[in-house]
Structure 1
Amino acid sequence: MINHQAQETYLRMQVQTAAPWELTTLLFSGCIKFMKQAMDAINRKDYEAKNLYIKKSVDIIDELTITLNRDYDIAHQLASLYTYMKDQLFQANIKNHVDFIQECVVMLTELRDTWVQAMKTLHTSRVNA
């Protein structure tokens, strides 16, 4: 119980003190974590947990979609990608196939890693300017 409370306090502080780009990174990482937990639940045949973790993943993807700046073309491409991921997660939930989720994990991991690299490059160029 104490360990769980300490972890929640740490996560809350991490979110409260994070820069906007770091919050996006946290959302990516959280979604990836929940998708992996959903795959594990499918493998254990724990369909209640699978449903919960897929729902959490979809909620995060919805948040990522809402926060897109539609002034840029890439936002529309990301919105389409997020819609595709949600469709895959729904299929995984219905059919209990981890392959649908694994595809989303790979895509979102690549997206997160690209995002982090882009933000590091941006911040480095600002510091050196």
Structure 2
Amino acid sequence: MAVNNPYQAYQQNQVQTLSQEKLVLMLYDGALRFCRQGLAAMEKKDYAGVSNNLGRVQDILSELMVTLNRDVGEIAENLYKLYDFMYRHLVQANVKKSATMINEVIDLLQQLRDTWEEATRIYQTHDYRTRIGMNWQG
């Protein structure tokens, strides 16, 4: 598919050249942004906006679920279950028009995002030390 808009081409290239770690962080950031936009729409009683934004979060959660390698062990399996829980929780939040339920998902996503960012930082620091021959713990 050809991209005619130079900005879209730039964005597509940026996403395609990101590391897996940064892509996951972007997905978490997007999910959080759309959850918050869904909450804002709910406050305005814009239920189409709520549904649209929560649907986008569900799309992100689906992407995280299908790209997760569940064969690596218990952590991956538990993460899958957590994504599935959040997905279903958002479906119910949309049906019930529950800001509380959306906030619960925001809290979970924020914790996952912060943990992922910290793990990535530690991994990159360790990887850098290994590449330059530092084997010490610090």
Fold similarity call, TM over 0.5:
yes
Name the amino acid aligned to 1:51.
Answer: S
Q: Percent identity among equivalent residues?
A: 35
Structure-2 change in CA distance of 1:110 and 1:9 (3 Å):
farther
Partner Cα separation in structure 1 for residue 51 and residue 66 of structure 2: 22
Find the counterpart in structure 1 of residue 85 from structure 2.
84
Match of 1:126 in 2: 127
Amino acid in structure 2 at the alignment position of 1:49: G
Name which structure has the greater RCO, CA cutoff 8 Å, separation 6+. Answer: 1
Q: Which residue does the alignment assign to 1:56?
A: 56
User: Per-residue deviation at 1:13?
Assistant: 4.2
CA contact (8 A) 2:86 2:105 kept: yes
Aligned alpha-carbon RMSD (Å): 1.6
Q: So what's the TM-score if we normalise by structure 2? A: 0.84
Gaps of 5+ in 1: none
Scaled by the length of structure 1, the TM-score of the pair is 0.89
Change (3 A) 1:30 1:8: farther
Q: Which residue of 2 aligns with 1:35?
A: 35
Unaligned 5+ residue runs, structure 2?
131-138
Letter in 2 for 1:81: L
Partner AA of 1:121 in structure 2? I
Tell me if the contact between 2:42 and 2:97 (Cα under 8 Å) persists in the aligned partners: yes
More helix by share: 1
Q: What letter is aligned with 2:59?
A: D
Distance in 1 of aligned mates of 2:10 and 2:96: 36
Flag the structure with larger Rg.
2
Aligned residue number for residue 68 of structure 1: 68
1:114–1:10: structure 2 CA closer, same or farther, 3 Å change rule?
farther
2:136 matched residue in structure 1: none
